[in-house]
Amino acid sequence: MFSGLLIILVPLIVGYLIPLRHKAALQLINRLLSWIVYLILFFMGISLAFLDNLASNLVAIFHYFRRQYYDYFIV
């Protein structure tokens, strides 16, 4: 738990402490971060593909949501 918090907070703090004004470097960092997000989403999709009974779990979540919040969406 603590290591996960450090993985998030340390790069955040270091990123704020290092001033970077070069437009090309900022564009490169932006592009790299976008690709990292795509990579994370890809691995999340792969891990979802290997879950057992994914469809039945999604149906159960849908039924729970419908029971809990059905009154809020009736027009």
Instruction: Please say whether the dihedral angle defined by the alpha carbons of residues 64, 65, 69 and 73, taken in this order, is positive or negative.
Output: negative
Q: Is 45:38 a contact under the CB 8 Å cutoff? A: no
- Of 21, 39, 42, 43, residue with least CA distance to 31: 39
Q: What is the DSSP letter of 18?
A: S
Could you read off the pLDDT of 9-61 as tens digits, one per residue? 998 999 889 888 899 999 999 999 999 999 999 999 999 888 888 888 889 98
The residues spanned by each domain of the chain are 23-75
As a three-state string, the secondary structure of 12-36 is: HHHHHHCCCCCHHHHHHHHHHHHHH
Read off the pTM.
0.61
pLDDT of residue 33: 92
